[in-house]
Structure 1
Amino acid sequence: MTPEERIAKMGLVLPEAAGAVANYVPWAISGNVVMTSGNLPWRDGKLAYAGKIGRELSGEDGYRSCQLSCLNAIAQIRQAVGELSKVKRIVRLEGTMWVDESFKEHPKCLNGASDLINEAFGDKGQHTRMIYTNPVMPFDCTSLVVLYAEI
């Protein structure tokens, strides 16, 4: 199965890649690596998740937000290379979340992105990752995901 087929089997729809919201490109290729810019939890051109995890949103909402942000990052990779079967490996996932200072379950939320990557890409999805938090997020979004993929 292709990554696109695995994503569909999960009941998810790989969206069209979103455009930039400021003065940058959504993705860049350097050598054999494609790097995405930060991807927010967009659905049909609107933020699906806004607010702080642990305050306005639950940890489960944070998981789904990270999953959706990652789905948008995967769409950027597909736009960059044409089809996801060209990905040799997802090298790195970086997730930034907007969380209440009392919330400590960041890793479980970012698993929304990691679980998607691992399911969609199988062994090629085994990645490193880094979690960040921001005191303020663009558009009050809950999550932002960046992916690095070897092609």
Structure 2
Amino acid sequence: MIKRITEEKSGLNNLTPEERLKSLDLELPAVAGSVGNYAPWVEVNGMIYTSGQLPWIDGDMKYSGKLGDKLTVEDGYESFKISALNAIAQLKDAVGELSRIKRIVRLEGSVQATADFTDQPNALDGASELVNYVFGDKGRHSRMVYTDPGMCLDCTTLVVLWAEIEKEKELT
């Protein structure tokens, strides 16, 4: 059974995204470097686009292999949650404070799965529910899930976030 992230409205509206993470007993990991010749994130016209973030914990791949083989939808949910946590860490690296995020615009997930696995949306909820909880109403996003029979480094999941940022206030 999936242990879902649920939001209790009372008391969370006044918390920063970092405080919301702490309320889940989660800390942002150190940002992962790229595993190829690309940037982990880029900013264009007030939007941050992260590169694909994997389910790394302290440099180790927490989930590898295919959903529908030895891994369950519950494993996929947890793997997507970790991948999303790494994507949020990239956003923080890009903007300094997560409260500068005006809106999460899009979440894209890729999952390594067998041909007969069809529960990708429930697995991807691990990422969506974490993002929605951390950013509140600003976290509501569009999304897409892709299935791949073979993923880089044999990772189970990968998450990409697109985020609109608040403009920095000019000093007068």
Q: Which runs of 4+ in 1 moved over 3 A?
A: none
5+ long unaligned stretches in structure 1? none
Equivalent position to 2:159, from 124, 145, 149: 145
Q: C-alpha offsets along residues 88-130 of structure 1, whole Å, 9 cap, x if unaligned?
A: 0000000000011111100000000000011000000010000
What is the CA–CA distance in structure 2 between the aligned matches of 1:84 and 1:13, rounded to whole Å? 13
List gaps (5 residues or longer) in structure 2: 1-14, 166-172
CA distance in 2, matches of 1:8, 1:101: 37
The 5 A counterparts of 1:107-122 are 107-122=121-136
Structure 1 residues 28-43: aligned runs within 5 Å: 28-43=42-57
Write the letter of the residue equivalent to 1:138: C
1:2-151 → structure 2 map (5 Å cutoff): 2-151=16-165
In 1, are the aligned partners of 2:115 and 2:149 still within 8 Å (CA)? Answer: no
Aligned residues, how many?
151
TM-score (norm 1): 0.98
1:21-49 C-alpha deviation (Å, 9 max, x unpaired): 10000000001100000000000001000
* Whole-angstrom CA distance in 2 between matches of 1:19 and 1:66: 18
Indicate the structure with greater helix content.
Answer: 1
What is the aligned-residue RMSD (CA, Å)?
0.6
Question: Bigger radius of gyration, 1 or 2?
Answer: 2
